[in-house]
Chain A
Amino acid sequence: MRHFLYCLVFPHPHNNHRAKFLHFKSLLLVISVLITSSFFFTSGVNPLASKIQALADISSQELLKYTNEKRVENGLPPLLLNQELENAAYAKAQDMFANDYWAHNSPDGTTPWYFIKNAGYDYVYAGENLAKGFTDSKDVVSAWMASPSHKENLLSENFKDVGFAVKAGKLGGEETFLVVQEFGNKTAVPVEKIANKSPPVAPETKVLAINLDSVTPSPAKSLSYDFIFLIILSFIIILFVDMLIINRKNIARFVGHNLDHIIFLVVVLIMVSILGTGYIL
């Protein structure tokens, strides 16, 4: 058993001076497992796992808490959770899943304001932030804070009320969950800053605040990411050990350059990290 494990990781005459982990059969096995599980697990066996985790870790109350923390830190009064805006956010999330889109405006041109008005919230100011693919409330708010236009909504003096919706479903054929944040104010009077009590200046016209651009990814790591990280890191370490031992023993082999593979796999780790992120809109 020990010998088998040794041959699995280290080059040895019994494994033709190449760790068994790096043999074609092992590579094919790992590739097959990854591709098979990509289809199998996500589509059939465990489709509810992401929903359960998302709903467990992201809640309106937590989103409100972190949003208001940021507002208070910036000298603004906390937003009040508004049931009408909650209903609007829920309707918007439902509409995105029903019509399979992820945008502020639906494919038929319906704006976020329609949902807010339809929920009975007669706004003077309104705004919307969206997020998808996150697994933690704090990450969602952090991602919004990292984007200037979303931050503008979060820290706007024009908003008094807020409503959230966290909904799981299928978007573009993928299981995901959406976070919708609707802001509003029924009056034209901006909120007063906590730190600075200067008199508010009422705007002359109705203004809508919306983020239609500025798409910023933010980390939303998962167990799947950890699994991939572990697999790729194992290959990198074994390739590195293989390279050191073979160079030291000066053994001639017809194999690829381990250094090439190590560099490429490090890039894979970075790419996977970029791909495994949540998005805000």
Chain B
Amino acid sequence: MRIKDYHLGYYFFLITVLVLGIFAVWRLSPNKDLQMIAFILLSIVYAVIGVIHHFLDHDLVGKIVIEYILIAVLGIAAAFFIFKGGFGI
């Protein structure tokens, strides 16, 4: 039960942070540079929160750290692609 509560708390925290990030990006419109910076910061925070979560779960290994970093970078790359105008179409 305590473990379940802990995970619920973690997901509540994660979703709150991400929703705040969406709000920040929306509010920073139309300054795309600041929007991009906010998005990069959010992706970093996501990776850090994920890694901390695994650390607290005592199952943190190097592979997991790389995985969170890659997923965060994938998000940044997707946003960057749109930010730069994608294929130009």
A248 to B73 alpha-carbon distance, docked (Å): 29
Indicate the size class of the contact surface on chain A.
35 or more
A48 to B74 alpha-carbon distance, docked (Å): 27
Which of B25, B46, B54, B86 is most buried by chain A, counting CB atoms within 10 A of its CB? B86
**Chain A residues closer than 8 Å to B43, beta-carbon distance:** 264
**Chain A residues closer than 8 Å to B78, beta-carbon distance:** 34, 228, 231-232, 268, 272
Secondary structure call for the A interface = helix
**Chain B residues closer than 8 Å to A45, beta-carbon distance:** 88
Q: Mark B66-86, 1 if CB is under 8 A from A, else 0.
A: 111011111101111111111
A176 to B30 alpha-carbon distance, docked (Å): 14
Chain A residues engaging chain B, CB cutoff 8 angstroms: 24, 27-28, 30-31, 34-35, 37-39, 41-42, 45-50, 53, 174-176, 215, 217, 222-225, 227-228, 231-232, 235, 254-257, 259-261, 263-265, 267-268, 270-272, 274-277, 279, 281
Instruction: Tell me whether B86 and A24 are in contact (CB under 8 A).
Output: no
15 additional A-B residue pairs with CB within 8 Å, beyond A232-B78, A265-B71: A27-B70, A31-B77, A34-B77, A34-B80, A46-B88, A175-B85, A223-B86, A224-B87, A227-B86, A228-B81, A256-B64, A263-B14, A265-B75, A268-B74, A270-B22
Secondary structure call for the B interface = helix
**Chain A residues closer than 8 Å to B68, beta-carbon distance:** 256, 260
A265 to B79 alpha-carbon distance, docked (Å): 11
Instruction: Tell me whether B61 and A224 are in contact (CB under 8 A).
Output: no
Q: Mark B21-62, 1 if CB is under 8 A from A, else 0.
A: 110011001101001100100110010001001100001010
Measured CB to CB, the nearest residue on chain B to A281 is B30
Instruction: Tell me whether A35 and B77 are in contact (CB under 8 A).
Output: yes
Instruction: Tell me whether B25 and A271 are in contact (CB under 8 A).
Output: yes
Instruction: Tell me whether A38 and B81 are in contact (CB under 8 A).
Output: yes
A256 to B59 alpha-carbon distance, docked (Å): 10
A261 to B29 alpha-carbon distance, docked (Å): 25
Indicate the size class of the contact surface on chain B.
35 or more
Instruction: Tell me whether A42 and B86 are in contact (CB under 8 A).
Output: yes
Which of B67, B83, B85 is most buried by chain A, counting CB atoms within 10 A of its CB? B85
Measured CB to CB, the nearest residue on chain A to B31 is A215
Query: Top 9 nearest A-B pairs by Cβ distance?
Result: A224-B86, A34-B77, A38-B84, A268-B75, A279-B30, A49-B88, A46-B88, A27-B70, A256-B67
**Chain B residues closer than 8 Å to A272, beta-carbon distance:** 78-79, 82
**Chain A residues closer than 8 Å to B80, beta-carbon distance:** 34-35, 38
Contact (A275, B86) CB under 8 Å given A34-B80, A260-B14: no
Instruction: Tell me whether A174 and B85 are in contact (CB under 8 A).
Output: yes
List 6 A–B pairs whose Cβ atoms lie within 8 Å, in order of A's numbering.
Answer: A31-B77, A34-B81, A37-B81, A46-B87, A260-B68, A271-B25
B78 to chain A, nearest CB (A): 5
Instruction: Tell me whether A274 and B71 are in contact (CB under 8 A).
Output: no
Partner of B71, one of A27, A37, A41, A223: A27
